[in-house]
A and B are shown apart, each in its own frame.
Chain A
Amino acid sequence: MNELVWIFISALLVNNFVLAYFLGLCPFLGVSGRLDTAFRLGLATLFVMLITAFCAWLLNTYVLIYAPYLRLISFIVVIASTVQFIEMVIKRVSPGLFRALGIFLPLITTNCAILGLAIFATNKGYGLAEGMIYALGAGLGFTLALVLMAGLREEAELAPVPRLLRGTAINLIIAGILSMAFMGFAGLFSAA
């Protein structure tokens, strides 16, 4: 039980996918301009992550032990189809959200955070429960980073930021400061 707690906390805060592993930077920098969009994209990513973790576990347990070399290809295929599916669902259920997420929804396919989740969970040898908790932590962590970033960026938009810094440079520096702040979580719940 405690192990699951640690896996969750570790993926959520200590080894936050964006702020410690640099995964999912493209959407992190691209979609974090608006708070509500960021939040929804975060949840979409979380959802895809959960499904991916489940599929990765299935693949690992029943297919990849016989053909480990197919790992990458099969993960990619699973993620691509999942995203396709979610895209269809969102398009039907909420056209507004579909417009808001725009180009970035198909790009979840190449969102390294999703693929990274599948690969890391495999490397760490997680079972089903651990993998799902890991996905939950990673997805919530991604959402948290995205939402914090979006809030900060909306404020920074109003500030007289020097012209040269506008755009990606300031966003990266904000991310750097956030990443420094998240260092405070190091060792959380693992300390003796």
Chain B
Amino acid sequence: MKHRDPKLLVQPGPLLKQPLTTSMAMRDVLIALAPATLAGIWMFGLGALLVLLACIGGAVLTEWAFLPADERRDQLGNGSALVTGLLLGLTLPPALPLWMAFLGGVVSIGLGKIIWGGLGYNLFNPALVGRAFLLAAFPVAMTTWSAQTGSADFFQVPASNLAAPLMHVDYDGVTSATPLGLMKFQQESTALWDLMIGKTSGCIGETSGLLLILGGLFLAFRRDLDWRIPVSILAAVAAFSSLLFLIDAERYPGPLFSIFSGGLLIGAFYMATDPVSSPLTPRGAWIFGIGIGLLVVLIRVFGGFPEGVMYAILLMNAATPLIDRYTQPRVFGKGLKSPQGGQE
């Protein structure tokens, strides 16, 4: 286990990696996400809660299964698997079959975290790895959106949630397109206020923009995230979409729509800011954020998918080592190489 302590501390990010700090930061994230989570459950009903629980279950069980027995208490106790599962769940459609949600949790931790050697080493955001896997594996289920439930049918769990494991999904309820889908395929805009308070269909936790911002501000206030990342992402998205909007207001959505629709806010505040998979230096954070913003607009406007936040963050996660390399002071850049060579 000589690799347990890295030869070089290359991640002195805003989050220190002592277990105590980690668990405190995770608690902050849970607090910050609570309003949006509760709103999501309120809007989409009991089924949404079950999806969230399935994701968390998958994530925590996988973490437990793969950890050595003596590390289980510490690692599970810091709540990082819980946060990963919750974040994954918040980016899933509320009517997703529970077995898929569970599988997503397993993949998030398995492919997103365990294979890298655990917390603090994952190069991609685990929740997004799980989501990308689910979207590629079950494209239909992952893009079928149920309408919001009223308070009357809160306890009605959609049949699709309860599909038997590995089995096909039958959608019985009313499905409706997301604001981004409407925009992309029917050129229909959605009222801005509906977007802000989340009166639209979409993923469980991504609809209520104002609550997400509230939580994000809380995290920024608590210094749990690098404020540069969300600021640069949102600014870049606003800038690029304004540019397109000015070129052709008929075809391209305006900046406010771009910011409040889809998973941009949850991505910008809670996923792109994952300290492990984002750059270390302030300059790197700006590049990272602008890159995400650019990719989001590119995929949303010119790509095949209506939403591109997940792909944008994953792609910039992949570029993070390069950004780090080119934004670090020269000395570090050179110093990096020698332990590398000696590693073999």
A58 within 8 A of B: no
User: Is A190's CB under 8 angstroms from B111's CB?
Assistant: no
Q: Given the known A-B contacts A162-B115, A187-B305, are A178 and B340 also in contact in the complex, defined by CB atoms under 8 Å? A: no
Q: Given the known A-B contacts A161-B3, A184-B312, are A151 and B121 also in contact in the complex, defined by CB atoms under 8 Å? A: no
Instruction: Kindly state the separation between the CA atoms of A186 and B111 in the bound complex, as whole angstroms.
Output: 23
B210 within 8 A of A: no
Q: Using Cβ atoms and an 8 Å threshold, which residues of chain B touch A159?
A: 3, 6, 116-117, 121, 123
**8 Å CB interface, B297-330 against A:** 298-299, 302-305, 308, 310-312, 314-315, 317-322, 325
Chain A 28-44 interface mask (CB, 8 Å, partner B; 1/0): 00000011000000000
B246 within 8 A of A: no
From A160, A170, A181, A189, contact of B311 by CB (8 A): A181
From A151, A186, A189, contact of B321 by CB (8 A): A151
Could you tell me the distance in whole angstroms from the C-beta of A172 to the nearest C-beta in chain B? 11
Determine chain B's interface SS by DSSP, over half rule.
Answer: helix
Determine chain A's interface SS by DSSP, over half rule.
Answer: helix
A185 within 8 A of B: yes
Chain A 151-189 interface mask (CB, 8 Å, partner B; 1/0): 110111111111001000010011011101111111111
B222 within 8 A of A: no
A148 within 8 A of B: yes
User: Is A188's CB under 8 angstroms from B304's CB?
Assistant: yes
Instruction: Kindly state the separation between the CA atoms of A72 and B129 in the bound complex, as whole angstroms.
Output: 40
User: Is A165's CB under 8 angstroms from B322's CB?
Assistant: no
Q: Using Cβ atoms and an 8 Å threshold, which residues of chain A touch B311?
A: 181, 183-185
Instruction: Kindly state the separation between the CA atoms of A181 and B312 in the bound complex, as whole angstroms.
Output: 8
Chain B 150-182 interface mask (CB, 8 Å, partner A; 1/0): 000000000000000000000000000000000
Q: Given the known A-B contacts A160-B3, A183-B136, are A148 and B322 also in contact in the complex, defined by CB atoms under 8 Å? A: yes
Instruction: Kindly state the separation between the CA atoms of A98 and B265 in the bound complex, as whole angstroms.
Output: 48
Q: Using Cβ atoms and an 8 Å threshold, which residues of chain A touch B118?
A: 160
A25 within 8 A of B: no
A113 within 8 A of B: no
Instruction: Kindly state the separation between the CA atoms of A178 and B315 in the bound complex, as whole angstroms.
Output: 8
Q: Given the known A-B contacts A184-B314, A191-B304, are A173 and B299 also in contact in the complex, defined by CB atoms under 8 Å? A: no
Instruction: Kindly state the separation between the CA atoms of A188 and B315 in the bound complex, as whole angstroms.
Output: 15
Instruction: Kindly state the separation between the CA atoms of A152 and B323 in the bound complex, as whole angstroms.
Output: 11
Q: How many residues from B make CB contacts under 8 Å with A?
A: 44
Instruction: Kindly state the separation between the CA atoms of A178 and B129 in the bound complex, as whole angstroms.
Output: 10
A147 within 8 A of B: yes
17 A-B pairs, CB-CB below 8 angstroms? A148-B318, A154-B321, A157-B343, A159-B116, A160-B1, A162-B117, A177-B318, A181-B124, A184-B299, A184-B310, A184-B314, A186-B305, A187-B304, A187-B305, A188-B304, A189-B302, A191-B304
Could you tell me the distance in whole angstroms from the C-beta of B39 to the nearest C-beta in chain A? 28
User: Is B10's CB under 8 angstroms from A188's CB?
Assistant: no
Identify the 6 closest CB pairs spanning chains A and B, nearest first: A187-B304, A184-B311, A151-B321, A159-B121, A160-B117, A181-B314
Chain A 133-158 interface mask (CB, 8 Å, partner B; 1/0): 00000000000000110011011111
Total CB contacts across the A-B interface at under 8 A: 112
Closest to A164 in B: B115
Further 13 A-B residue pairs, CB within 8 A, beyond A160-B1, A161-B3, A188-B302: A35-B322, A35-B325, A158-B10, A160-B3, A160-B117, A177-B318, A181-B132, A181-B318, A183-B311, A184-B303, A184-B315, A185-B303, A186-B303
Q: Given the known A-B contacts A152-B123, A180-B132, A188-B303, are A158 and B318 also in contact in the complex, defined by CB atoms under 8 Å? A: no
Instruction: Kindly state the separation between the CA atoms of A12 and B280 in the bound complex, as whole angstroms.
Output: 28
B133 within 8 A of A: yes
User: Is B115's CB under 8 angstroms from A147's CB?
Assistant: no
Instruction: Kindly state the separation between the CA atoms of A162 and B4 in the bound complex, as whole angstroms.
Output: 10
Most chain A beta carbons < 10 A, residue from B8, B111, B116, B184? B116
From B111, B123, B298, contact of A156 by CB (8 A): B123
Could you tell me the distance in whole angstroms from the C-beta of A150 to the nearest C-beta in chain B? 8
B336 within 8 A of A: yes
User: Is B343's CB under 8 angstroms from A165's CB?
Assistant: no
Q: Given the known A-B contacts A157-B340, A159-B3, A183-B136, are A177 and B321 also in contact in the complex, defined by CB atoms under 8 Å? A: no
Could you tell me the distance in whole angstroms from the C-beta of B8 to the nearest C-beta in chain A? 6
Q: Using Cβ atoms and an 8 Å threshold, which residues of chain A touch B299?
A: 184-185, 188
Q: Using Cβ atoms and an 8 Å threshold, which residues of chain A touch B314?
A: 177, 180-181, 184
User: Is A161's CB under 8 angstroms from B117's CB?
Assistant: yes
Q: Using Cβ atoms and an 8 Å threshold, which residues of chain A touch B133?
A: 180
